[in-house]
Amino acid sequence: MTSSELWNVKNLKSPPKLTMKINIQEKDVAALIDLTSEALSTFNDQTDFEKEAALLSRFIYCMKTKLRHNKGLKVAAKINQALLRYLRTNITCQIETFLHTLPRSFLEPPTYMPSRNMLQYLLVRLQGVAKLMVRVVETSKIAAQTFEELISIGHMWKIYFVGFGIVSRIYVLSRDIAKYCCRLYSLLFPFVNVLQNSIGEWLPNEYILPKDLRLWLNADCLDEVDKRVEINKPFLSLFKYEAGDSDDELFVDRITTKQSRTVDALMKSKPEISAEDLGIPVLRKIDTKKQRRKKKRSKCVQPNIQTLDDLKKFENDFKNNVEKYSDNYKKLDKMQCSMLHKLVLKCLKRSTKNVNDPVKVNGYLNEVRKALSVYD
């Protein structure tokens, strides 16, 4: 991160919290206290904005599987990421720290005031917050337009309407925060020349704080004026349906009407049967019995494996005549035959290796016999 993008540093290290005894007018001290107190109360009173951010996060979490390929939800996820970054900035804590270094009562100059570095740090963080809010405003506008297009299609319009309402309210609230950041920045910036430093400069020499934050942001969305347009018809044509007429109910009504018309047409086209000539009932006795064929299954010839030589003989015979054992053992497929042959070969190798230990050899022979009994 270059020094020209200091406002974009995630974990920006703050300067030391120092105060200096300087000559300053009483009106400047009072103005600085009023500005920071108002800013602290404004950023602390963001209940509506926090609620909308929580609703957006919950909406994305609930719909991330159902709308995983939806463009509107992906844009809403970008808004959520920007809001999380704003939350991590914690601008209220930084304003509160600066406010606590201001004198509680002004008697006469000189008096102790916070250092210039602390004010510059606060201005840089205000830059970052304003930039984040502009990002939220622009992305919310795109998300609202996307949701509006999806609502006009009519499919799942209730879900899209919820998302449209959330991002619309976030658009308005974030734009107000961005405008307030610009106003607060312009009021605090003149005090940079009033305050002094007791140590070196915290701000790099190549980094220049803009005098006008709104001009530096270069965001047209902050200059837009809301227009009130009166309409004589509902915003959505879907509102013309009554409260009980959902999409499912309308579909069922159409299907029911169609089926009833089909039944009426069949009843009208049914030929009339005369009651005079009904004929004589005929009974047929079927003497032939159905013969059920039982599938005869070839009897499995279980190999007699008692010694190591029997195992060698069986392995050689199994390898050369796979088809015979495939027919005997429940029609084994190629994969099962291969697995059975590998097991027999493994037991044969281990038995040959431990030929002097009859207990182990007998265990390997039992393993082969058990495997063959499973496929029987």
Q: Name the pLDDT band for 202 (thresholds 50, 70, 90).
A: confident
Burial of 174 (0-12, 13-18, 19+ CB in 10 A): buried
- Dihedral in degrees, nearest 10, Cα atoms 309, 314, 319, 323: 170
pLDDT at 173 over 80: yes
What pLDDT is stored for residue 240 in this prediction? 46
Distance of alpha carbon 141 from alpha carbon 148, whole angstroms? 11
Burial of 153 (C-beta count, 10 Å sphere; 0-12/13-18/19+): exposed
Per residue in 223-238, pLDDT (tens digit) is 777 776 676 765 555 4
Backbone angles phi, psi at 203, to 5 degrees: -75, 130
Triad 294, 295, 298: Cα angle to 5°: 135
Given a cut of 90, whether residue 39 has pLDDT beyond it is: yes
Cα–Cα dist 155/143, whole Å: 17
* CA nearest to 51, candidates 193, 137, 165: 165
Cα–Cα separations (whole angstroms), residue 234 to 239, 243, 360: 7, 15, 86
| DSSP 8-state assignment for residue 114 | E
Positive or negative torsion for Cα 328, 333, 336, 341: positive
pLDDT band at 241 (very low <50, low <70, confident <90, very high): very low
What CA–CA distances, in Å, run from 325 to 101, 332, 374? Answer: 91, 8, 13
Mean pLDDT within 14-31: 87
| Residue 26, H or E segment | helix 26-44
Report the b/e string of 228-255 with b at 16+ CB within 10 A: eeeeeeeeeeeeeeeeeeeeeeeeeeee
Task: Categorize the per-residue pLDDT at 329 as very low, low, confident or very high, splitting at 50, 70 and 90.
Answer: low
Residue-wise pLDDT for 297-316, tens only, equals 445 556 677 787 787 888 77
Structure-model confidence comparison of residues 39 and 361, the more confident one: 39
CA distance 366 to 345: 14
Report pLDDT digits (tens) over 82-110.
999 999 988 999 999 999 998 887 667 78
Which range is most confident: 161-170, 214-223, 276-285? 161-170
pLDDT of residue 4: 64
Q: Residue 181: is its pLDDT beyond 70?
A: yes
> How many Å is the Cα radius of gyration of the chain?
42
Delimit the domains of the chain by residue range. 3-226, 308-374
Question: Phi/psi zone of residue 353: left (φ > 0), alpha (ψ -120 to 50 degrees), beta?
Answer: alpha
How many CB atoms within 10 Å of residue 94? 21
Instruction: Quote the pLDDT of residue 43.
Output: 94
Please state, rounded to an integer, the average pLDDT across all residues of the chain. 80
Residue 288: pLDDT over 60: no
Query: Mean pLDDT over residues 250-269, rounded?
Result: 58
